[in-house]
Structure 1
Amino acid sequence: MRQCYFILLSMFASLPAMALTFQTRLENIEWKVEGDKFECRLIQPITDFGSGAFVRRAGEQAVFRLNAYNPMLGEGSATLLAAAAPWQPGRGDIDLGSLRIGRGQVLFNSSQAQAGRLFRGLLEGRSPLVRHYSREGSVSEVRLLPVRFRQAYGDYEACTAKLLPKNFEQVRQSQIGFPGGGTELDPAARSSLQVMVEYLKADPSVNHVILDGYSDNLGNRLTNRELSRRRALAVMNYFKENGLQESQITVRFHGEQYPLKPNTNGANRAQNRRVSVRLERLPEPVKAASPAGVTPSSAIS
């Protein structure tokens, strides 16, 4: 491994003078893993620049992100590479495609496919490399190194194993179906609701649920309205059984109004028999201050 370090040093020393390269010295290389149930990050700080990070949100695959403390790279085009190590003769760099460098601290987010190929490259000893071309023709490079990557990658995978099944954008709205025409929750409905329950338990800031019940157009309007009500109540009861307070749930029912599809055939009518579920973040009510010398009634023994 020490021989590899010396080869790396000689390679970096031989870079063209016109190429400004940002990277961390070999002896200072570190990979950090941060995260929770909502997001995991595998980060390498880059001296005098910022950091490169793989970011995986719940319910998604990872992307690669380049962060900068200062706008050292101007806006424009760049190329993302999985650069070959000098001790791997005969292996060229892998061009992963072009990028657009933007403004702000986050210069870009790669695609999920690009991040996956960078992961494979790092496990093979390759370096993620961003090569930026300025309008004046100069070249700047930002390089991460694969040193000490495998151990950190194991910790990152342990973090991702604890991610929630979905993130807020994915779970905030859902359609719970009643394709059979009844008011009982089937296994598919319970599975979808359980994902939402898991998210509610993990994120206390999501504190309200709105339920809208619907039916198809078979039968009379009064019957359909009652069916839509009972379906919404079935979903409400599932949330209550899993710890949500009734005061946190708003129930509405609309009968055959607002169909998803025209009620022209059985398949369409099955889709219209549903409960729409929406999760919301509502501000906590502000408690009024008690007048001086007055004890709140809840505190009186």
Structure 2
Amino acid sequence: MPGWAQAVVFRASIDESVWEMETSRFFCRLSQQVPAFGQALFEHEAGESLRFVLRPTQQDQLAGEVLLMARASSWQPGVAPFNIARVKVEEGGALALSSEAANQMLVALHRGMTPTFSSAHWFSSGEPVEVGISAANFQSAYDDYLGCLTTLLPVNYRQVARTAVLFPSATWRLSDATRERLDLIALYVKTDDSVKSIYVDGHSDNYGRRLLNRDLSKQRAEEVSRYLRSQGIPEEMIITRFHGERYPVVPNSSAENRARNRRVAIRLERD
């Protein structure tokens, strides 16, 4: 891999190195603009692992596989570099890291080092290129990032927008696991103002009389809706429906399948 001196280098100087924070209960974002190249972004979404993306302003500056190393910054003479990962460039030139590699980048930055992406070909030419993420002014932004993590919700919209909770045969009482799941849904809904409706649909398997199954699905749906109201969800947001055995998710051909059909489906709808 070409050395630093031989490559075209993109890296913020100490004066140019600005770390920006975006915070909410749904995500924590920590980013730096790399002059003349693009944006380096750490993002930790609620309910997910940390991710990192290096996104060039101009496409196709990088291609193929890129080496990511932590290098000593200019104020760290004698500090040994270490490899973090080899990363495949996505279509268009962006680089996305696994959570493990992204965390290693944060460790390097916290130590004052410069995570550096190195490629042998800039714009598919024979000229090597290196993109460094500056650690200058990182520490205070990192402290804010850590503070943001403590406020994140435990789940995001994708994780709660569609939920099915299951019931044993002939019962409608909520299990402890179901209550825990409903607690997460209620917490999310009370935080996200864009959620306007919650559809609660009760179902049964086909074991027994159809009319009794219909009543059982009604009891299940009403029990879920009652619990959501007890957790602070406004009654007018909840639409409770029941369908008996009419809409199985799988054929009622085995005990395992019937267990999947004894359910209440909860669906969140945004604006």
TM-score normalised by length of structure 2: 0.86
Distance (whole Å) between structure 1 residues aligned to residue 8 and residue 194 of structure 2: 45
Alignment partner of 1:130 is 2:117: yes
- 1: CA distance between counterparts of 2:4 and 2:69? 19
How many residues end up aligned between the 2 structures? Answer: 265
Q: Distance in 1 between matches of 2:109 and 2:170?
A: 53
Q: Which moved more, 1:271-280 or 1:117-126?
A: 117-126
Distance change (3 Å), C-alpha of 1:205 and 1:186: same
Work out whether 1:115 is the aligned partner of 2:102: yes
- The answer to whether the 8 Å contact 2:34/2:40 transfers is yes
Q: Which residue among 4, 13, 19 is the counterpart of 1:31?
A: 19
Provide closer, same or farther for how the CA distance between residues 157 and 179 of structure 1 changes in structure 2, counting only shifts above 3 A.
farther
Q: What are structure 2's unaligned runs of at least 5 residues?
A: none
Report the CA distance between 1:183 and its aligned residue: 1.4
Amino acid at match of 1:135: S
Name the stretch that deviates more: 28-37 or 75-84: 75-84
Q: Which of 153, 177, 183 is equivalent to 1:164?
A: 153
SS in 2 for 1:138: coil
Q: Would the alpha carbon gap of residues 81 and 88 (structure 1) be closer, same or farther in structure 2, given more than 3 Å must change? A: farther
- Are the equivalent residues in 1 in contact too, given 2:52–2:98 (CA < 8 A)? yes
- 1:255/1:242 Cα in 2 relative to 1: closer, same or farther (>3 Å)? same
Matched, 1:185 2:192: no
* Bigger radius of gyration: 1
Separation of aligned partners in 2, 1:179 and 1:43: 48
Alpha-carbon contact 1:78-1:101 (below 8 Å) kept: no
Using the TM superposition, give the Cα deviation of residue 25 of structure 1 relative to its aligned residue in structure 2, in angstroms. Answer: 1.0
RMSD, matched Cα: 2.6
CA–CA distance in structure 2, aligned partners of residues 61 and 37 of structure 1:
15
- For residues 35 and 206 of structure 1, the distance between their equivalents in structure 2, rounded to whole angstroms, comes to 20
Relative to 1, partners in 2 of residues 1:140 and 1:14: Cα closer, same or farther, differing over 3 Å? closer
Unmatched 5+ stretches in structure 1: 1-12, 283-301
Residue matched to 2:40? 52
Question: Structure 1 stretch 205-214 or stretch 28-37: which is displaced more?
Answer: 28-37
Please state if 1:173 is matched with 2:125.
no
Q: Give the structure-1-normalised TM-score.
A: 0.78
